[in-house]
Chains A and B, each alone.
Chain A
Amino acid sequence: MWRAARFMKIKITYPPPKNKGGRLAERIINWCILAAAIICPIVNLLTGGKPWSVVVLWSLWFGRSMSISRDMVEYNRISQAAKLLVYTCTLLILIDRCLASGWAGFVVPIVCFGALLAIGVLFFSNLQKQKQNMMPMVWLIIASLIAIGISFTGWLKMNWPMIVLGLTALTLLAANIIILQKDLLRELQKRFHTK
């Protein structure tokens, strides 16, 4: 096949592409999100009242990053479950602070230990493959242990969900150490290398 570009004849040696990379839908969604992100705070400021637009803004960011703006490195079941948990907890805390307060100290640890348990199941049910993806889970365990540590100091409310969260995190940590042994150390070495 030949194509002429003015006087230069080009012999076509590439197949026609399957996908010309339009991604129109994605662009439309991005513009809609941007429009909502601008309009909501303005309306909120003009009408006054509770800062509901903060919750909207975070929800937009949450939805976008979980659907169309995916992670470019390490997009796997463990990392996505961990990300979902962090984003959800942030949303719950924002709702608590901005709209209806007083329940987050109880609900967030319940969501966390449920999610931590689910992540543990996802991890240990496919151990061989997930071994190289363990880090988001380790971060969550560390964060949970820090949370229970802070509860002991009295900065956070100590309640039964918090105790269950601490126990779940400790159990998962122990399971990781016992089952993975050298693999855990190797993984930590990789993740914290400075070379």
Chain B
Amino acid sequence: MKKKRSQYLDYYESLSESDQLLLNDFFSGFHQHIALTPKHEKQMRDDFETAFLYYSRAGVDLGTATERLAVSKLGGFYARPPVLWYPLDDAAKIYPLAMKKNQMAVFRLSAYLKEDVVPELLQISLTFTIKRFPSFATTVKKGFFWHYIDTAKRRFTVEPESDIPCRPINVSASGSQSFRVLYYKSRISVEYFHILTDGTGGMVFLKTLVAEYLRLLGVAVPCTDGVFDIDETPSSLETSNDFPKAEPSEKSSGFMGKRAVQMTGRLSCVKPYQILHFELDSTSLKEVARRKGASVTAYILMLMFLAQKYSTDDPEGNIQIQVPVNMRKFYESKTVRNFALYCSIKIPLSEITGMDAILPEITRQLSEKASRQAMNEMMNATVGLVRTLRYVPLFIKRPVAGLVYGFLGDKIFSNTLSNLGVVAVPAEMGAFIEKFDFVLGTAVTNRASCSMITFENAAVLSIAKYTADPSFEEKLYSLLKADGLEPNVEGSEIYEN
């Protein structure tokens, strides 16, 4: 940092008097916008100085640089004391209760740009973007009855990626971040503690972050297609808990179920064991699914059922795949917090005999179990459970939830398929993005979690693996190939020693 500081001083000395004045004005404006601890204020000033150095190296004139880095983009966020706080939404309430040292509900969204990431600008981009997402600028806290998230005023940091994806986030310290922004080569990733948001909300944040990053690079990105205008005042609708929108229903479905068949491979000590991405041509994928008379989700589910059966030695039982359902499909919602539930697609092992045998059943179960009525029943169950437990102190709820979750955990599922669908971005932004990917890092006993996201012609099916046994992904790969799809496989090395 000292080297950068002296580099900045050298740069400052090399400027003309008028440019020096421009910078002096800039930093006096900067200090008016900041009321953080001296440490964070200094770090943030360093960020801006490094960004100026980058612009100077890139041949961007100082006028343009000060315009792009305009301190007005900081708004009042860093100048005001932390007064906002948010109760957890109904879906998030379980996450802090069930988390353990090595087990935390973390998911990850990544955007692959066409050029390597400039860390200096990504840091500024996060500094500007976070104020638009007040519920993300928070730290988890313990109340007497429930956890909550409390505003953290600090410098939110980006880090070079250098560790296992989706590893637990340290949320214990005062003002700690509940998400992390990482960069590696041309990839920008955000890993979220699920307490903050779901895939849809997370994608809005990532898109807005990338759009702001591109603006700092000089690309004008309009605020459409889920890109937020970071200068707008956040609406309370964006941070609301929308679960109470459930329509009253006579029935309310429960969360319990019988244990599902698991893959037989030994659970790895290090989680995840490996990350794999199957990149597919989305047009061909859609065409194959259409030929079979199914949706893409149903088609992928069918392959997963076959691969799952191939990966288990259990002679009987049910394979159950958890499919998260975005409730925004059914209810008008602007929230960027959790607003998703799940359904479970279940087929007995004995009935999994081939593609044709199970695809109609999967399609039927999907349309029935992911219907508005079924999801409304589940929403009612969720809201009812939260209401019932609201006056039970946390010191009672936590060990009970820990026990129940530890006993049952994700054992009622064999696997998960979370399909975020097609990502739309403004055309100006799309020109700089190659693809997106989405990784779930939440499994406890499941040996794999699958997730999917499509951008333009790239559909990326990601597998977070928790076992050394390669049967599942190899079967999936061969099934895709047999259907004429040629997956381009990318991923991580094996993380377990």
Contacts and interface: CB of A to CB of B under 8 A. Distances in A.
Contacts of A15: 161-162, 184
B171 A72 contact: yes
Nearest to B176: A75
A180 to B, nearest CB: 12
Given A5-B470, A194-B146, A194-B390, A17 B490 contact: no
A85 B171 CA distance: 23
B489 interface: yes
A132 B143 contact: no
B96 A195 contact: no
Interface string A74-107: 1110000000000000000000000000000000
A74 B493 CA distance: 34
A interface majority secondary structure: loop
Contact of B174 (A19, A132, A192, A193): A132
B358 interface: no
Interface stretch (B80-88, B299-307, B331-339, B342-350): B80-88
Interface residues on B, range: 35 or more
Contacts of A133: 174
A132 to B, nearest CB: 6
A3 B275 CA distance: 13
A69 B87 CA distance: 27
B interface majority secondary structure: loop
A73 interface: yes
B492 A12 contact: yes
Contacts of B140: 73
Given A73-B142, A73-B147, A12 B493 contact: yes
Nearest to B102: A21
Contact of A74 (B141, B270, B492): B141
A67 to B, nearest CB: 13
Given A8-B477, A20-B270, A191-B144, A3 B174 contact: no
Interface residues of A, number: 40
B37 interface: yes
Contacts of B87: 193, 195
A193 to B, nearest CB: 6
Contact of B37 (A14, A76, A129): A129
A9 B99 CA distance: 35
B172 A74 contact: yes
Contact of A75 (B37, B163, B172): B172
Contact of A72 (B101, B185, B490): B101
B11 interface: no
Nearest to B149: A190
B142 A74 contact: yes
A73 B148 contact: no
Contacts of B143: 190-193
B206 to A, nearest CB: 18
B489 A14 contact: no
A186 interface: yes
B489 A10 contact: yes
A72 B173 contact: no
Contacts of A8: 473-474, 477, 489
B16 interface: no
A16 B163 CA distance: 7
Contacts of B391: 194
Given A18-B163, A193-B148, A195-B87, A10 B174 contact: no
B167 interface: yes
Contact of A21 (B85, B171, B495): B495
Contacts of A195: 87, 146, 241, 390
A13 B490 CA distance: 6
A14 B496 contact: no
A177 B496 CA distance: 53
Nearest to A74: B142
A161 to B, nearest CB: 28
A70 interface: yes
B165 A14 contact: yes
B486 to A, nearest CB: 12
The 9 closest A-B pairs by CB, nearest first: A75-B172, A14-B492, A195-B87, A194-B390, A13-B490, A76-B174, A11-B490, A21-B270, A191-B143
Given A8-B474, A11-B490, A73-B140, 6 more contacts: A13-B187, A17-B162, A69-B101, A73-B141, A190-B148, A193-B148
Interface of A: 3, 5-22, 69-76, 128-130, 132-133, 135, 186, 190-195
30 contacts: A5-B473, A8-B489, A10-B489, A11-B489, A11-B490, A12-B491, A13-B187, A13-B490, A13-B492, A14-B161, A14-B275, A14-B492, A17-B163, A17-B495, A18-B162, A19-B164, A20-B496, A20-B497, A21-B102, A21-B164, A22-B497, A70-B172, A72-B100, A73-B141, A76-B174, A132-B82, A132-B141, A132-B175, A194-B146, A195-B146
